[in-house]
Structure 1
Amino acid sequence: MNLSIFFEPLPEDTFGIADNPKSVGGYLAPFIHTFPDWRSAEVVLVGLPEYRGTTGTVDLTYQGPNLIRQQLYRLMKGTGSWLVMDLGNLLPGIELEDTYLRLKEVVEILVDAGKLPLLLGGSHDLTYGQFLGYEHLHKTASLALFDSQLDLLENEDATPEQSHLHRILLHDPNYLFSLSHLGHQTYLTDNHTLAALEKLHFELYRIGQVRQNLKEIEPVIRQADLVSFDVSAIRHQDAPGQLQANPFGFTGEEACQLAWYAGQSEQLTSFGLYGYRPEHDHRHLTATTLATMVWYVIEGYYQRQQPLNFQSNQFMRFSVGFHDNPNKMIFYKNRQNDKWWMEVEDFSGLRPPLIIPCSYQDYLTAADGEVPNRWILTQSRM
């Protein structure tokens, strides 16, 4: 399919000539006059100037993706080959639902071709379009979502941005294998909603739990096929360009660390940044924070180790036995980066064991005779 029909080019006066040939802008191939040959890229940037799913927009709002680009293009290129292309901005549909379907088609084509799309939003409800892109890929999908609250409102007055997670959970056909919601703040979250998601065996992490030990969250991100990051998960001091002035949340440094984890994950196939509101962004601080996050995703991508062969010498294999159970729990440790994985059995016998990311603490828990919670949650979803 000709993807160019979905996109509008970037302004030449802003993105035509790089300020520094060693900067990101000097290595990217942006859509200005000619649509780039995305098939020869590894990472692809997609702007999403769509905000009809939220409230209180002004003309400046729709410049959000381009303002993030401006800051990204000024950063210095990292390591690796950096085969990155910028397809420009997705043309909004006549209706908001049409934009979701356009985004679905673009994500599906890029992911199916083995490219990593980085989506510069746009209101957070565009996560729904990102998720739809996995519907026809013939596999289940795991979603990691960073937000200060759960967008699960069901009342008639709720905007799509406030209710898109509800649509994802109810989508038919259901191909969502797991949902990990990270960074929610308890005083912004309804307890009944949390309880309902826990009954579905999804993983929920408060902002305090994530910040307490970021390394323990890395396996959660490593299990995700798609990541959606709302700027409201970052505190106002580091990202004032958001609809709500949120005094608490991740620091800019923590957000970049999480983005680095996402980029390094061999399973991640799309990453979306949403909720940027430039009319509130003093001196482009938020745009700089988000641009740096994108930089870390790309840099992490070029630190990936592929393919993963758990039977090779790259991995050490550990068997943990339980005194009252003849079965053993199998763990794998990557010799090169010290990342851990574990096998989860399907008790029905209909599928082979699933090897999922885990932490060293999960291994220690099993060695102490307890079944790790991550194993229990995964097995209950199989």
Structure 2
Amino acid sequence: MPKTEKDDPRVGYWLQNKPQKTKVVLIGFPSDEGVRRNGGREGASEAPDKIRQELYKMTPDAEETTLFIDLIEHTTDVGDLKTSGNLEEDQQKLGNIVAGYLEQGVIPIILGGGHETAYGHFSGYAEANLKTSIFNLDAHTDVRPLNNGKAHSGSPFRQALEHETSVETYLVAGLQPYSVARSHLKFIDEHGGDYLFRDETNITSISGFFHRHESERLMVTFDMDVVDQSQAPGVSAPCANGIAADLWLTAAYLAGRNEQVTSFDLSEFNPRYDRDSQTAKLAALTIWHFLLGLSQRS
């Protein structure tokens, strides 16, 4: 249980309460059926609870305590969506939940799950009939075609871009040149998107991506396989030359600060392959940094 002493409060104390006015919600999406279909390492379905365990133990920001607490006093963890293993149905359920919060002006933070989480996340915008741009921090483009007509963890952004409710822009950063097919880049180009490879991905370029789109809304999705495997070993597809954890965390903070960001998800943390909870702690700290950024919006 998180500590509640006045001199040592923990984030979990607030997240387990039900505020009168909700501004932010945490939703777990314990699915890795899409990873299985894509031939990846299963186990991401166990991530939401592991992330919570670490996040709940963290304290509010020591430097901006009042602002941080003001936000988490209006943040609640609504638990996990009950998944069935039918990926398409589960994604639609997630979309229905996300749509309801978007329509209320509440910011959903979704704890995946494989990166199939992102299409369920996007489905909320489609269900609410809201146009959005998408920013993805990822080692892969995730615009692969469906497998025998079925969605998977590598297809969410192709599905989103081909949806009848158009995505205004798709932006992806952190790509590894050895993990991306030329045809995938061509697909992004043809749909008016943009991309950055790992060596081009830094604070300046990420900040530029956050502010270069014209949409009123920006859906943000972070795939943990973009982080170097020395700092994030517990992922579905480890990356030997990924970005540094400090860049990843700063990007989460910038996403929170950006007033155009209306939702956030974190995907592909796989507890089965973690080491001493290293990746779980980084995942939780990612959510903490996003909340910190949210708390400092002017």
TM-score calculated relative to the size of structure 2: 0.87
- Output the CA distance in 2 between the equivalents of 1:74 and 1:94: 31
Q: Report the Cα offset of residue 42 of structure 1.
A: 1.2
Cα contact 2:133–2:170 (8 A) shared by 1: yes
The answer to which structure, 1 or 2, has the higher relative contact order (CA under 8 A, 6+ apart) is 2
Cα contact 2:160–2:166 (8 A) shared by 1: no
Shift in CA distance, 155/64, structure 1 to aligned 2, threshold 3 Å: closer
Q: Report the Cα offset of residue 20 of structure 1.
A: 4.8
Alignment pair present for 1:52 and 2:33: yes
Query: Match of 2:158, SS?
Result: helix
Alignment pair present for 1:217 and 2:200: no
Query: Match of 1:124, SS?
Result: coil
Cα contact 1:20–1:74 (8 A) shared by 2: no
Shift in CA distance, 142/159, structure 1 to aligned 2, threshold 3 Å: closer
Q: Kindly tell me the number of residue pairs found equivalent between the two proteins.
A: 279
Partner of 2:50: 67
Q: Report the Cα offset of residue 136 of structure 1.
A: 4.0
Alignment pair present for 1:169 and 2:169: no
Query: Match of 1:237, SS?
Result: coil
Q: Report the Cα offset of residue 138 of structure 1.
A: 4.0
- Output the CA distance in 1 between the equivalents of 2:81 and 2:288: 21
Partner of 2:246: 253
Q: Report the Cα offset of residue 266 of structure 1.
A: 0.7
Q: Cα deviation per residue 1:76-120 (whole Å; 9 max; x = unaligned)?
A: 112310221100111114621111111001100111111111100
* Matched residue type, 2:207: E
Shift in CA distance, 181/91, structure 1 to aligned 2, threshold 3 Å: same
The structure number with the bigger radius of gyration is 1
Q: Report the Cα offset of residue 286 of structure 1.
A: 0.6
Q: Cα deviation per residue 1:200-225 (whole Å; 9 max; x = unaligned)?
A: 321111111113xx123213224551
- Output the CA distance in 1 between the equivalents of 2:171 and 2:204: 15
Partner of 1:373: none
Could you tell me the percent identity over the aligned residues? 25
- Output the CA distance in 2 between the equivalents of 1:240 and 1:251: 13
TM-score calculated relative to the size of structure 1: 0.69
| Aligned with residue 205 of structure 1, among 196, 221, 242 | 196
Query: Match of 1:239, SS?
Result: coil
**What 5-or-longer segments of structure 1 have no aligned partner?**
1-16, 31-35, 306-382
Partner of 2:2: 18
| Correspondence 1:301-320 to 2 at 5 A | 301-305=294-298
Partner of 1:196: 187
- Output the CA distance in 2 between the equivalents of 1:71 and 1:156: 35
Query: Match of 2:201, SS?
Result: helix
* Matched residue type, 1:74: K
Alignment pair present for 1:112 and 2:93: no
Cα contact 1:145–1:229 (8 A) shared by 2: yes
Cα contact 1:139–1:175 (8 A) shared by 2: no
- Output the CA distance in 2 between the equivalents of 1:95 and 1:264: 35
